[in-house]
Amino acid sequence: FKDYVSGFPKESDMYVSTKGTIRLKVPDGSNGIVVKNLYLSCDPYTRNRMTKPDTGNYYVNYLKPGLPINGLGVAKVLDSGHPNFKKGDLVWGNTGWEEYSLITDFQLLFKIQHSNVPLSYYTGILGLPGLTAYGGFYEVCSPKKGDNVFISAASGAVGQLVGQFAKLLGCYVVGSAGSKEKVDLLKNKFKFNEAFNYKEEPDLDATLKRYFSEGIDIYFENVGGKMLDAVLLNMRAHGRIAACGLISQYNLDKPEGVHNLMHLIYKRIRMEGFVVFDYFHLYPKFLEFVLPQIAEGKIVYLEDIAEGLESGPSALVGLFSGLNVGKQVVLVARE
């Protein structure tokens, strides 16, 4: 990571370094582990961590200029000074954007127990995006059969899962995304009832009225801005809005205003923000739920895998123009 970012992040805000020594052994006396990184997760919140600290942002884990980006990934243990990990273990959680990492903080590091799914899934459906979709939908949205559900950024890492969870429950599900290819995926691969390309809809209020003639019960909010304003006009009484992310605002120096908040009151809507870290206690329950659905083909997951650590900057930056089709992953090395 080169330096703090304002506005849209650029590839040149990051650089690839081949300097430094590769450490394959844990230092004497350390209880850390050395891992070989296999897959890295590209997540929109990394942008928030690129902002200069003190800008009123609540992400405590800011990136530090001159140091490797850290984030979530899948890795293999090469050497361990920690009693819970041994050589050969596969893990997911906090690691570095580098070929090999020395991990000493174990708050967010889990041993991978299931080998019958692609390892990269632990950056997505079986990792943070999966738990975000699960916690956000089941805990925050109070969903029930027959609800009318709308999801923005619907073909992404989180959105594609929320839509499929809602379909499994018997909801009517509509998603928005930024290209025809993504709209086709939503309807044909993820089996949403309807989908539209928000970039081709000049009047989002009219668009939502077209798909939700009786209004929206649940809005899973990933983007914010104009979409949120249009949704507020189309919510049903006692609807729920899960504020998961506001990606359309992350690169703006001054966030756009929201004009239709009075509709929260008129329609007795509950709008609730949440952070996935609040739901880690549900992870075992989530795995119990989702692994059989994957095995039976009832839930599918789409990934967009960029090859090589050097493709990390472009993959990360691409999230903000919608270049990713599905969960954006960087393949660093094969097991």
Residues in contact with ligand NDP by the rule CB under 6 A: 43-45, 128-129, 132, 153, 155-159, 177-179, 182, 222-223, 244-245, 247-248, 274-276, 319-320, 322, 324, 327
Phi/psi at 91 (5° precision): -135, 155
Nearer to ligand NDP, 104 or 188 (CB): 188
Please report how close the Cβ of residue 298 comes to ligand NDP at its closest, in angstroms: 20
Min CB(56)–ligand NDP separation in Å: 17
List all residues 6 or more positions away from 51 whose beta carbon is below 8 Å from its beta carbon. 4, 5, 6, 57, 62
The CA–CA distances, whole Å, from 80 to 27, 40, 122 equal: 10, 21, 21
CA distance 310 to 173: 38
Nearer to ligand NDP, 148 or 155 (CB): 155
Instruction: Find the shortest distance in angstroms from Cβ 185 to ligand NDP.
Output: 10
Whichever of 43 and 217 has its CB closer to ligand NDP, that residue is 43
Minimum distance from CB of 18 to ligand NDP (Å)?
A: 29
Spell 113-135 as b/e; 16+ CB within 10 A means b.
eeeebbbbbbbbbbbbbbbbbbb
Q: Which is nearer to ligand NDP, 4 or 59 (CB)?
A: 59
What are residue 82's phi and psi, to 5 degrees?
Answer: -110, 135
Q: Which residue lies nearer to ligand NDP by CB, 182 or 240?
A: 182
Q: How far is the CB of 322 from ligand NDP (least distance, A)?
A: 3
3 state SS of 122:
helix
